């Protein structure tokens, strides 16, 4: 069974960033007794470090995603908690077209009068599966252009009846 698995998580943003920060913090806490004399509180330090590490792992390994069975043309929107995916399989509608759309967004932090305001351009590439009008579309976002092109090729080869309907990006 060939599965296309798209995970909706980004370790650089949102709650998943918090999970990564907790893991790094726990490593610092667990290593601190090597550099700082803990005395009688060593056991508490270890418990705090291990607890924070586990909390970080739980946060990072909890996310949503989409699975597409490329052989049976089924789709499953799932919620994953520590590797256990919950959701129901349903038939994937007939794919009319697949587009790769480059997207550029201007991002900035909120000016607060103390730290400088940073403005940057964030580029991403969205693969959009287009079905009949009565069905919703699916969009899969990638920051890596090469990876987006590979995924576009895979999906168009497996899901489209007529490969001429694939619309590549202009870049």
Helices of type H across the chain:
14-35, 42-60, 145-159
Mark which of 40, 59, 92 sits at the end of a domain.
Answer: 92
Do 99 and 85 share a domain, yes or no? Answer: no
Do 58 and 85 share a domain, yes or no? Answer: yes
Spell out the per-residue pLDDT of the chain, length 171, in tens. Answer: 488 899 988 777 788 889 999 999 999 998 888 888 766 788 888 899 999 999 999 999 999 999 999 888 899 999 999 888 899 999 988 888 899 999 998 877 777 677 677 778 888 999 999 888 788 888 999 989 999 999 999 888 888 756 555 555 555
Residue for token pair 């943003």? 13
What is the rounded CA–CA span in Å between residue 54 and residue 120?
34
Contact in structure between 20 and 11 (CB atoms under 8 Å): yes
Cα–Cα distances in angstroms (integers) from residue 104 to residues 7, 51, 62, 107, 109, in the given order: 21, 39, 28, 10, 17
Do 66 and 125 share a domain, yes or no? Answer: no
Q: In this predicted structure, what is the pLDDT of residue 38?
A: 65
Do 67 and 14 share a domain, yes or no? Answer: yes
Do 71 and 97 share a domain, yes or no? Answer: no
Do 11 and 62 share a domain, yes or no? Answer: yes
Q: Count structural domains, the chain.
A: 2
- Contact partners, residue 90, CB within 8 Å, separation at least 6: 74, 75, 76
| 17 CA to centre of own chain | 12
Q: In this predicted structure, what is the pLDDT of residue 162?
A: 61
Do 107 and 164 share a domain, yes or no? Answer: yes
- Print the domain residue range for 134: 93-171
Do 14 and 82 share a domain, yes or no? Answer: yes
Do 108 and 80 share a domain, yes or no? Answer: no
Q: In this predicted structure, what is the pLDDT of residue 9?
A: 84
Do 168 and 88 share a domain, yes or no? Answer: no
Do 19 and 84 share a domain, yes or no? Answer: yes
Cα–Cα distances in angstroms (integers) from residue 13 to residues 16, 19, 77, in the given order: 6, 10, 21
Q: In this predicted structure, what is the pLDDT of residue 86?
A: 92
Q: What is the pTM of this model?
A: 0.73
Do 70 and 127 share a domain, yes or no? Answer: no
What is the rounded CA–CA span in Å between residue 116 and residue 123?
22
């Amino acid at each position: 069974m060939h599965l296309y698995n798209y995970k909706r998580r980004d370790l650089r943003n949102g709650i998943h960033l918090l999970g990564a920060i907790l893991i790094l913090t726990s490593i610092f806490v667990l290593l601190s007794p090597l550099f700082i004399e803990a005395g009688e509180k060593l056991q508490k330090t270890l418990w705090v470090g291990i607890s924070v590490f586990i909390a970080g792992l739980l946060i990072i390994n909890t996310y949503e995603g989409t699975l597409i069975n490329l052989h049976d043309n089924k789709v499953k929107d799932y919620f994953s908690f520590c590797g256990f995916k919950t959701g129901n399989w349903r038939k994937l509608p007939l794919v009319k077209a697949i587009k790769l759309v480059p997207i550029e967004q201007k991002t900035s932090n909120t000016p607060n009068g103390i730290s400088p305001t940073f403005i940057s351009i964030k580029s991403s590439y969205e693969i959009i599966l287009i079905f009949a009008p009565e069905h919703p579309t699916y969009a899969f976002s990638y920051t890596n252009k090469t990876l987006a092109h590979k995924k576009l090729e895979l999906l168009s080869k497996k899901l489209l009846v007529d490969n001429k309907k694939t619309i590549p990006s202009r870049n």
